[in-house]
Structure 1
Amino acid sequence: MRSTWSRPGSRAKARSSASRWRRTSRMRKRSPAGPTMRIKEIDDARVIIVVASDIENDVPIIDLRVKKAVTKRGAKLIVVYPEGVDLDRNPHTVHIRNAKGAAAAEVRKLASHELLKNPGGPVAILFGDGHGSEDMNELAAACGDLAEQVGGKEMPLYRATNERGALAAGVAGWDKLDGVEAILSWGPPPTAGIPRSAKFIAAWDHLPRPGYESAVVLPAATFAERQGSYTNVEGTVQFLRPPIPVQPPLKEGWEVLCELGAALGVRLDYPGIFPIQRELASKVPAFASLAQPPSPDPAPPPVLVGPAHP
């Protein structure tokens, strides 16, 4: 028996990351001001609203939760998105195809929708950024108003790894860099693209990337060697404990930044990663859980309970 969500073959979507990720200040994403919906709460939703996101490709882990809630637990589904999505394969999906940039206007009409007049339980409102096509201030406000009207909970969707954490820390701006003459890029090239005005480009990275052909590339530790933290899509901050120690002469990122700051006359006297995290925790509420270092004990192994719980 074929699942409602299955399909022959795979649907490959070619995207231009540069054009998809361009932002203006009017459309800039921001970190949520307070707690948002938890991923596990999607399971109990009676109506799920997905706005400005193709969750199959943007946030696959959320896509699986939504499909489980719909197919296994009978949740109703409303999609607000300009194009066809995989969720349309469910014959009961209500798909409202908005014009690009008009998702907020469609959301404001939803309170009177038949499915939301008496949802019969929790309502989940999941919203993305339309790949840069939506005014995020307007869309977030519309989703917040809808949540109040129908008793729902919201979850902003982030496509990039640790994007929510970067936004909370204030280091995920997407403004263009026109006029900038010197760039130090931490990891991949800037999402706004490297401007023609740049005369000097340096990068701290462990992979060859387009845009770095003429850059001075400093060897970086890989993700498996880095200490730090990771903020998932629901806002949970987790410590990163690398399974592989950094081998000299390679250095950790915080060491490189401290040395670079000293060379530029900026005083950065941090003896290790934990003092940096404690200072961040004291200044940014979203990172309050970093105030205490992680337990030195390894996480307990999962308990296996029969064939239904591999």
Structure 2
Amino acid sequence: MLALVDGIKGKGSKLGVSLPQDLTNEEAFLFKRLLDGPLKGAKVKMHGRTALPAPASDPMRIKDIDDARAIVVVASDTEMDVPIVNLRIKKAVSKRGAKLIVVYPEGVDLDRHPGTVHIRHKAGGAAAEVRKLASHELLKNPGGPVAILFGDGHGSEDINDLASACGDLAEKVGGKELALYRGTNERGALAAGVAGWDSLDGVEALLSWGPPPTAGIPSSVKFLAAWDHLPRPEWDGAAVVLPATTFAEQQGSYTNLEGRVQFLRPPIALKQPLRESWEVLQDLGVALGVGIKYVGISAIQREMALTPPDPEPAPTPVLIGPARP
């Protein structure tokens, strides 16, 4: 732990942090305290997240897909991105007769249904196609609720233009929207203010929590610390390697696509000397001079529930142009 502290303390913007997409809300809460304190200024990139910003209003519920009479899926291969939503869509179409429109450049699992209307387009053209849909025959008189589900096209779309187009379509056809976040707890990380989208290029110290950065470890890195449950070739040159828990050993909570908090109960008991991630973050905070002391994860959850919202929160980052993961 001391070697880790020496390598990351006081680095400011020269420190990069790669976060896992499945960090819990409790881990995000503690990590935010470090970002607001001794790690202030660090560049943060969440592994596997979309370019989608936090929702400006309450999204539609996942279960409402079942009752939709028309479903529009935009810029997402739902089978790979959001498998649970993919099953809901197929159930609504095959069992309940919903009409389905897919706007995506390539073939997808949903094409198996013979009634699927698939509008293919060149990369970056999703928003333009969505703006034509208000006059589509299937949406003129859908006969009930319309669900508009959209992703980020895995970096190929201008997300601001696409979100605006989907919002306009929802207003014109009386539909509801649901943004399709890929990250396991992307909604929770966004709410906590830690779902970073910073470039890690140029950082001199890197703390990689979970898998290595999608773009690889920057050549500028002089100090590398890895916190992972798997040995990987990328960690061969790491100055510090910390063992991490697996998903099956974690307790805490996630926030799902619609913003509902779901609690985890680990099926596998943690074995010493392995420690829970919140305990490691707490020790790191203490070593960095932050007064963090909790006797259990329930104490963290109580403080999270009592913490008032920021009266002047930082504005949601606006991503201009095509997103690059």
The aligned residue for residue 304 of structure 2 is 280
Work out whether residues 52 and 151 of structure 2, in 8 Å CA contact, stay in contact via their aligned partners in 1.
Answer: no
| Structure-1 separation of matches of 2:136 and 2:157 | 22
Q: Give per-residue Cα distances to partners, 1:68-109, cap 9 Å, x unaligned.
A: 111111111111111122222323221111221121122122
- Moved >6 Å (runs of 4+): none
| Structure-2 separation of matches of 1:125 and 1:68 | 16
Structure 1-normalised TM-score? 0.77
Question: Out of 261, 266, 272, which is 2:290 matched to?
Answer: 266
Q: Rate the CA distance shift 1:90–1:223 in 2: closer, same or farther, 3 A.
A: closer
The aligned residue for residue 227 of structure 1 is 251
User: Once superposed, what is the RMSD of the aligned Cα atoms?
Assistant: 2.2
1:108 aligns with 2:111: no
Q: Give per-residue Cα distances to partners, 1:275-302, cap 9 Å, x unaligned.
A: 33334343569xxxxxxxxxxxxxxxxx
Secondary structure of residue in 2 paired with 1:213: helix
| Structure-2 separation of matches of 1:210 and 1:261 | 28
Segment drifting more, 155-164 vs 269-278: 269-278
Segment drifting more, 107-116 vs 46-55: 107-116
Paired positions, count: 261
The aligned residue for residue 304 of structure 1 is none
Secondary structure of residue in 1 paired with 2:190: helix
State the Cα distance separating 1:150 from its structure 2 match: 0.9
| Structure-1 separation of matches of 2:108 and 2:53 | 26
The aligned residue for residue 298 of structure 1 is none
The aligned residue for residue 177 of structure 1 is 200
1:118 aligns with 2:131: no
The aligned residue for residue 9 of structure 1 is none
Secondary structure of residue in 1 paired with 2:235: coil
- Unmatched tracts of structure 1, length 5 or more: 1-21, 286-310
Match runs of 1:108-187 below 5 Å: 108-187=131-210
Q: Rate the CA distance shift 1:101–1:76 in 2: closer, same or farther, 3 A.
A: same
Q: Rate the CA distance shift 1:185–1:48 in 2: closer, same or farther, 3 A.
A: same
| Structure-2 separation of matches of 1:62 and 1:28 | 19
> Percent of aligned pairs with the same residue?
75
The aligned residue for residue 237 of structure 2 is 214
Q: Give per-residue Cα distances to partners, 1:2-61, cap 9 Å, x unaligned.
A: xxxxxxxxxxxxxxxxxxxx99xxx83212133211121111111100000111222221
The aligned residue for residue 75 of structure 1 is 98
State the Cα distance separating 1:129 from its structure 2 match: 0.8
Match runs of 1:7-26 below 5 Å: none
Q: Rate the CA distance shift 1:156–1:141 in 2: closer, same or farther, 3 A.
A: same
Secondary structure of residue in 1 paired with 2:57: coil
State the Cα distance separating 1:227 from its structure 2 match: 2.0
Question: Out of 168, 188, 211, which is 1:188 matched to?
Answer: 211
Work out whether residues 52 and 181 of structure 2, in 8 Å CA contact, stay in contact via their aligned partners in 1.
Answer: no
Q: Which amino acid aligns with 2:182?
A: R
Work out whether residues 29 and 167 of structure 1, in 8 Å CA contact, stay in contact via their aligned partners in 2.
Answer: no
State the Cα distance separating 1:192 from its structure 2 match: 4.3
Q: Which has the higher contact order (CA 8 A, sep 6+)?
A: 2
Work out whether residues 51 and 152 of structure 2, in 8 Å CA contact, stay in contact via their aligned partners in 1.
Answer: no
The aligned residue for residue 241 of structure 1 is 265
Match runs of 1:88-107 below 5 Å: 88-107=111-130
Structure 2-normalised TM-score? 0.74
Q: Rate the CA distance shift 1:210–1:171 in 2: closer, same or farther, 3 A.
A: farther
Q: Rate the CA distance shift 1:164–1:209 in 2: closer, same or farther, 3 A.
A: farther
Q: Which amino acid aligns with 1:177?
A: L
